[in-house]
Amino acid sequence: MIDTIATHLPWDHPWKAQLHYFESIESTNTHAKELAHQGAPHGTVLLANTQTGGRGRMGRSFQSPPDSGIYMSVILRPKCLARELMHLTCATATAVVEAIATSTGFRPGIKWTNDLVAGKRKLGGILTELSVNSQGEVDWVIVGIGINCAQKPQDFPAEIRDIATSLYTCIRKPVDRAAVAAAMMVSLEKMDRLLPDANAFLPQYRADCITLGQEISILRGEEIRHGLALDVNDEGALLVEFSDGYREFIQSGEVSIRGMYGYV
Ligand code: BTN
């Protein structure tokens, strides 16, 4: 796939020479962390055909079968404080939506905070991980993205079959994974240049976020609360109004969001 990706990239794409392709790997995010520790440069991209231990948020696994998805991690080294990057996952989601829309003609929605969705099912997810020094400055950031591309409904394991979908199911024709992956590299590189400015992403994030205006359940450990999702602030936190009228900004960290009547 790597040769084909190169043909889809602009000749002067700054990350082109730092693209590493793996036929099989445990997790592109885990390996990216190792490379970042060893000093890998800003804009290093890892792409795999399959992952044997793909990871999602909150210790969940991310199913990554061969020849079926895009499993990509990018190492970034923004020169800023960690607290200036609160909008990073939202910026990444916006960039990936844009890449999928331009390369396939299909525009997914975003389920706050880091899931890409289509037809009320999960199409993909984003896992951002960062290392910060004692002054609060960012050492490196890993932006990890997984997109289900070629799966047919019956290809998903039984436990996620009712909540998962793929680009193939959405566009009803074979998906050119190399073209989508290249579009993601273009879009993420543009995102990286605009990253200091949260306003470059948040309006579009809000427009694509299907959680807003919905009655939702918020799961934090064993506790479940219900509320109405009102807005996303410039740091990517979700403003929720609870049934007693109390409003609170929810950080994505340790909560899981569900619609009242299903996954979305
Ligand atoms: C989630 O759904 O919570 C996030 C899923 C992120 C999956 C991607 S696939 C590429 C990268 N490597 C991983 O192990 N995880 C991310």
62 C-beta closer than 6 A to ligand 1: yes
Contacts of 202 (CB under 8 A, 6+ apart): 87, 90, 232, 234, 236
124 pocket-lining for ligand 1 (C-beta < 6 Å): no
Beta bridge partners of 44: 75
Which tokens sit at 95?
A: 């960039």
Within 10 angstroms of residue 69's Cβ, the number of other Cβ atoms is: 28
- Residue of 133, 111, 131, 135 whose CA lies nearest to 122: 111
Query: Among all chains, which residue has been given the structure tokens 């990890």?
Result: 144
Per-residue model confidence as pLDDT tens digits over 209-236 = 999 999 999 988 888 999 999 999 999 9
Indicate which atom in ligand 1 lies nearest the CA of residue 55.
14
Residues in the chain: 264
pTM metric for this prediction: 0.96
Q: pLDDT tens digits for 63-103?
A: 999 999 999 999 999 999 999 999 999 999 999 999 999 99
Euclidean distance between CA atoms 196 and 214, whole angstroms: 30
- Ligand 1 contact via 144 beta carbon (within 6 Å): yes
Cα dihedral across residues 218, 223, 226, 227: positive or negative? negative
- At 25-50, the pLDDT tens digits run 999 999 999 999 999 999 999 999 99
Indicate if the pLDDT at residue 182 is higher than 80.
yes
